[in-house]
Structure 1
Amino acid sequence: MRIDKYLSNLKYGSRTEIKKLIKDKKVIVNNEVIKNNDFKIDLKNDSVLIDGKVIPYFEELNLVLNKPSGYLSANKDNLHKTVIDLIDEPFNRYDLKISGRLDLDTEGLLVLTTSGEFAHEITSPNSNILKTYEVLLDKDCNDFTELEKGVIIKDGKGNEYLAKAIAISRLGFCKIKIVIDEGKFHQVKRMFEKIGYIVIGLKRVKIGNLELGDLKIGEYRIFKREELLWQIYYC
């Protein structure tokens, strides 16, 4: 790939700005100062530096983020901070897609990926990938029979569907762990509202086999898709 196209893809500026970077001898490939915009690089093997900083190349970039409350699951927004605002250099230069969005006031595991195919695979109902949540309720709950059998609620378009808890257990006073295999619009909140409870705190802790682990609020790390889809790839 041409060096100017590569740097343009990573949002290092317009063609004019990138041309100036090269003219000012700020672009180095394999210890060689680059002088021409059309210099070809091997994405997988060449080492690219700008102003002495290494510019890593990811054929596919997958990030797991511990989303804080108050951040919108979106790339841009005029009213709220977004999860992309939490991503630092150089990862914020990639075109990250959000898979399995969380509500503004919901915390926990969020997947950001450059692969549209992977993002779709995670959220598609046909994949039946399990999502695990920790739920804080307005009052204590001991009877999960209705949620285990399934309750009729509405999705974001107002269409009714059967929502069922794949697994559910009590973690403590007013605190529940629930596993579902979909994750539609406000699904967990609406499931508990259906049986007379209000969700006052919600955190996703696991998708498939991918867990938050020791990630603190606002932190993220790179992961390989096999971590999330272990059963699909290895069983």
Structure 2
Amino acid sequence: MRLDKYLANMGFGSRKEVKKLIKNKRVAVNEKIETVDKYQVNEQEDHVTLDGEEIIYQKYFYYMLNKPAGVITATIDDFEPTVLDIFSDQDFRMDLSPVGRLDKDTEGLLIITNDGALSHRLLSPKKHVEKEYLAKIDGIMTSADADRVASGMQIDGGEVCLPAKLIIDEVDEKNEETTIRLVLQEGKFHQIKRMIYTLGKEVMYLQRIRMGQLYLDEQLDLGSYRELTEEEMMLLERK
């Protein structure tokens, strides 16, 4: 790998910016100052330093984000704040992308990574990776609603949803509201809102709390992110 690409990949600036670092004799490879930006580096074996500080090469990055409402699941947008705008300058990378999407007004678990293979595994319809959501509903949900969801219901536009699981956690008879959890194995456009609407109710609040076997960290503040642990990475690889 070219030395300038190595440094850019590790977040030390654009190709143009890291070329200046190299030209100004601030970068060393195997304890020897290197001024050629095209110099080929073995990222697994060579010892690279910037201003004397060692740079440990990392190819893939994995983050858990607790997405807030009002932020869109995109990498860039001219009008709306995106999930990548939440990242600090130190952690931001051009190749980071969200795994799947959450609606603008939906909160909760979102994985951000530059590992395209992992994204494909988690999103592939053939893998049937579960996504669990917590929702507050305007209306009283019943066992009959749960049965319709479990059978694979048809929603507007004639689309048929895969069988899903609806769990009724709490019913507020006085305010005619219900707290539920929904477990899906797909992700149609606005699917949960459309399913609930078909059942004659309305979603007031929606939060994703699980993807596969990985649960949202309850200690992670809304609008915050952190790197995934090795244990969490193992959970992501399970169904």
Indicate whether 1:230 and 2:233 are aligned. Answer: no
Alpha-carbon distance in structure 1 between the residues aligned to 2:109 and 2:62: 13
What is the deviation of 1:113?
1.8
Indicate whether 1:18 and 2:18 are aligned. Answer: yes
Aligned residue for 1:78?
78
Per mean C-alpha deviation after superposition, the further-off stretch among 24-33 and 74-83 is: 24-33
What is the deviation of 1:140?
3.4
Contact 2:162 2:185 in 1 (8 A): no
RMSD: 2.4
Aligned residue for 2:187?
183
* Distance change (3 Å), C-alpha of 1:220 and 1:45: farther
Alignment of 1:40-189 (within 5 A): 40-46=40-46, 48-50=48-50, 55-143=55-143, 144-154=146-156, 158=157, 160-171=159-170, 173=172, 174-189=178-193
| Residues 167-217 of structure 1, C-alpha deviations (whole Å, 9 max, x = no match) | 523245421111111121111111111101110110000000111122221
| Residues 153-175 of structure 1, C-alpha deviations (whole Å, 9 max, x = no match) | 25xxx561234323523245421
DSSP 3-state at the match of 1:151: coil
User: What amino acid is the match of 1:148?
Assistant: A
Aligned residue for 1:7?
7
| Residues 6-31 of structure 1, C-alpha deviations (whole Å, 9 max, x = no match) | 2344562244x333211223334455
DSSP 3-state at the match of 1:221: strand
Indicate whether 1:35 and 2:35 are aligned. Answer: yes
Alpha-carbon distance in structure 2 between the residues aligned to 1:172 and 1:55: 54
DSSP 3-state at the match of 1:95: coil
Aligned length: 227
Aligned residue for 2:202?
198
| Structure 2 stretches lacking a partner, 5+ long | 173-177
TM-score w.r.t. the length of structure 2 is 0.83
Alpha-carbon distance in structure 2 between the residues aligned to 1:27 and 1:217: 38
* Distance change (3 Å), C-alpha of 1:52 and 1:39: same
Contact 1:136 1:200 in 2 (8 A): yes
Alpha-carbon distance in structure 2 between the residues aligned to 1:48 and 1:196: 61
* Distance change (3 Å), C-alpha of 1:63 and 1:159: farther
Identity %: 37
| Among 217, 223, 229, the residue aligned to 1:218 | 223
* Distance change (3 Å), C-alpha of 1:56 and 1:80: farther
| Structure 1 stretches lacking a partner, 5+ long | none
Alpha-carbon distance in structure 1 between the residues aligned to 2:105 and 2:206: 8
TM-score w.r.t. the length of structure 1 is 0.84
User: What amino acid is the match of 2:207?
Assistant: K
User: What amino acid is the match of 1:203?
Assistant: Q
Contact 2:166 2:180 in 1 (8 A): no
Alpha-carbon distance in structure 1 between the residues aligned to 2:51 and 2:85: 24
* Distance change (3 Å), C-alpha of 1:52 and 1:73: farther
* Distance change (3 Å), C-alpha of 1:159 and 1:196: closer
